[in-house]
Amino acid sequence: MSSHTTSVWRERLASPVIWHAIAFTVLFLLVVWLAVRFGLDWSATNDRSTGAMAEKQLQLKALELEIAPLKGLDKRVEESRGQIKTFYGKRIPPSYSAIASRVGELQVKAGVRLARVQYSQGPGGTDLTRISMDAGISGDYPQIMRFVNSLERDQTFFVIQGMQLTGQQGGLVNLRLQVSTWLRPADAAASGLPPTPEPAKDASGSASAAKEGE
């Protein structure tokens, strides 16, 4: 029995079919192993690619956020220039005489009296030159407040720089009023106004307002 079994196995091992089957099985297992390995490598590579892609997207988003304020900048600059031009046309007086005339009109409407009115001009600027008005103003309190408010709200660009009480008698109030407005440099140069004096300084070096009559 044992000799017969051995003979059978020898015949089977000698058969090409058996070896083909063995070779097919080995190849099949090798293919399966390679497929699994390829799948694992592909998954790892895909994960790395996905991470790299996400990182690039984040960098792109960060760049978009950085340049967002610059989008349309040329248009905003042009709009700003237009607004400045409109402001100059509407609120910057064309001449010194226009300033004096408008101040006189507001004085009459408010019912106050201006005295010792002095106009001067600051250093010439690139776009505008400051025009300063230093004057004494007298009237009752409501009249003075009406005049000051009318200056601040006027179409001409007036800025109140300072007010100083110089006297009061009964209902009459006397103030020293300092107001600024602006002219274009060429208009300021043509006005012939004297330069604005530098503020006087005391012994300690601090600025102090010059007194009337000094």
List, in order, residues 6 or more apart from 97 with CB less than 8 Å away.
none
| 58-65: Cβ within 8 A, 24+ apart | none
| Its pTM surpasses 0.75 | no
| Per-residue pLDDT reduced to its tens digit, 61-105 | 777 777 666 666 667 777 777 888 888 889 999 999 999 999 999
Segment 168-181, tens digit of pLDDT: 888 899 999 999 99
| Angle, helices 96-110/141-153, rounded to nearest 10 degrees | 140
3-class SS of residue 195? strand
Give domain 93-197's CATH superfamily: Ribosomal protein S6/Translation elongation factor EF1B (3.30.70.60)
* Range 38-44, long-range pairs (CB < 8 A, 24+ positions): none
The pair of structure tokens assigned to 122 is 């600051």
Q: How far apart are CA 113 and CA 136, in angstroms?
A: 8
Going from N- to C-terminal start, the domains of the chain cover 2-64, 93-197
E strands, the chain, where? Answer: 113-121, 129-139, 159-169, 172-183, 200-201, 207-208
**DSSP helix/strand/coil, 64:** helix
